[in-house]
Amino acid sequence: MGKYLTLQDRYYIEFALKEKKSVSEIALNLGKCRACIYNEIKRGQVKQQKSDLTYYYIYSALKAQNDYSYKATLKGRNFNLGNNYKLADFLENEVLIKKSSPYVALENAKRQKLEVNFCLSSFYSYIHKKVFLNLTAKNLKKYHKNKEYEKHHHSTLYTLNHSIEKRDKSIKERQEFGHWEADTVVGKKGTLTCCLVLTERKTRFEIIRKITNKSVECVLAEFDKLEKALGGKFKDIFKTVTSDNGVEFLGNGVLERSINGGKRFNMFYCHPYCSSEKGSVENANRLVRKYIKKSQNIDNYDFDYIRRTQDAINNYPRKLFNGFTSSEQLIKEIGFLIN
């Protein structure tokens, strides 16, 4: 077993703590000492607020991984480069002056009999963590980066930089219209067709769309349709979207990009296993399940049925709004925007 905890190990710790497992049991399952687990829990502590405005702390795997990645720029594997200034200067010269790709730069260093004791993915990692003096990620835009590095580093880094912790605290108060939560409702096991569910936090208004599979491409297509339909009002209606870390909501910012260029909204991601952080859409999913059962293939429901389901949810009186419906609340907010 490796010396350091991996992101997968950290996800296990987060899950185990939620299941009330002891530190001793976690340490035994991971093959680590108890002190290691205690230190890790301290590293990943995140402050949360209850409905009664009191605070408590939970362990976040992503918070701990982010802290580890940042500190790794100062110690550990990054010092494989160490004080080898000759190699560092050679690699910077190859990429910045000769316009070589990182792969070619490393190969040329080996041909020059320079001591190279790290692999290509580590080279990319050092660049992105700003280990070099002049060579940064901005210099790599024209090159295809290592696929494994892209897969495991960039998607994680993106979600870390767009964590719900970085979302404006005022959004939690539900006083401003235009902040949405997103999720998908899947059908019978083994089927692909699912529903994209969007819930506006203040009005609880629902948008439900049938999509062919649980992919970022399908979700992107639906947001593009909404932006085209709403035109110039889109950015007033969609200010932020909060989702879980499902593959259908990743894509390193592709969902945020407007069809007209620039950014159309800000995307934020909940902590893993913290569905309560997007409680509005989770409650909406329960309502959707009254019309679309888990045991059913969603492909069997036509688009008209999905639309009727959406309208039924949006047009029943809610105690939360003193008997008014979500559709009526939406009309009130849209009226403010128009006026």
| Chain segment 73-117, per-residue pLDDT in tens | 544 444 466 667 788 888 888 888 888 888 888 888 888 888 888
Number of residues that make up the chain: 339
Percent of the chain past pLDDT 70, that is, above it, reads 88
Question: In this predicted model, which residue has the larger pLDDT, 96 or 313?
Answer: 313
pLDDT at res. 152:
47
Residue 146 pLDDT more than 60? Answer: no
pLDDT at res. 236:
93
Please report, for residues 20, 98, 165, the alpha-carbon distance to residue 14 in angstroms, rounded to integers and kept in the order given.
10, 46, 17
Residue 202 pLDDT more than 90? Answer: yes
Structure tokens, 78: 């990054």
Residue 268 pLDDT level (bands cut at 50, 70, 90): very high
Residue 126 pLDDT more than 70? Answer: yes
pTM: 0.57
Mean pLDDT, the chain, integer = 85
What's the CA gap between 277 and 171, in Å, rounded? 12
pLDDT at res. 158:
66
Rounded mean pLDDT, 319-329: 94
Q: Which residues pair with 207 in a beta bridge?
A: 198
Q: Which residues pair with 57 in a beta bridge?
A: 47
What's the CA gap between 110 and 113, in Å, rounded? 5
What one-character DSSP code corresponds to residue 225?
A: H
Question: At CA 253, angle to CA 155 and CA 175, rounded to 5?
Answer: 115
